[in-house]
Amino acid sequence: MTTGATIWLTGLPSAGKTTIAYELAGRLREEGHLVEVLDGDEIREFLTADLGFTRADRHTNVQRIGYLADLLARNGVKALVPVIAPYADSREAVRKRHGASGAAYLEVHVATPVEVCSQRDVKGLYAKQAAGEISGLTGVDDPYEAPASPDLRIESHTQTVQESAAALHALLTERGLA
């Protein structure tokens, strides 16, 4: 049986988290690993549609995703989790859950500057915020607490998606998870 793990990719909206996760997922599947990508947008649509974007709701969202990721990881799946998870205490609670269950957990900070994210603006969120159509955008008018000591920091604006995924794959290999 393959070893499961949760690989949590945190960062600002449009940082490249999901793109890197899917790139890595393809490579891991080719190597025979069981892989699931727990995309934050899909989770919000299908599992946590009842939650808003208050601090409490964001914390609950992260805890639900963390529970699901831990469940998958304990059962031999590599759970790739590209979710903003803006608060350090929420991410730490997920790490502790994994520690208690014995499942491997890696925190990856996709450290793309807000200026680059707003240029990419994959979902048009930065434009909507600038136009006053939305508020509470993480990293603009809502806090983002960057990880102090992630297992890996990826600066997606200085390398290709393939290079970012390769750096993450190298970490997994180093930790005996790939």
Residues making up the binding site for ATP: 11-18
Tally DSSP H helices, then E strands, for the chain.
Answer: 7, 5
Please tell me the number of Cα atoms within 13 Å of 54 on its side-chain side: 5
Strand-by-strand arrangement of the 34-37 sheet: 34-37, 77-82, 5-10, 104-110, 152-154
Query: If 0-12 CB within 10 Å is exposed, 13-18 middle and 19+ buried, where does residue 141 land?
Result: exposed
Please report, in range form, the residues annotated as the binding site: 11-18
Tokens found for residue 39: 């995309």
What does the alpha-carbon distance between residue 98 and residue 91 come to, in Å, rounded to a whole number?
11
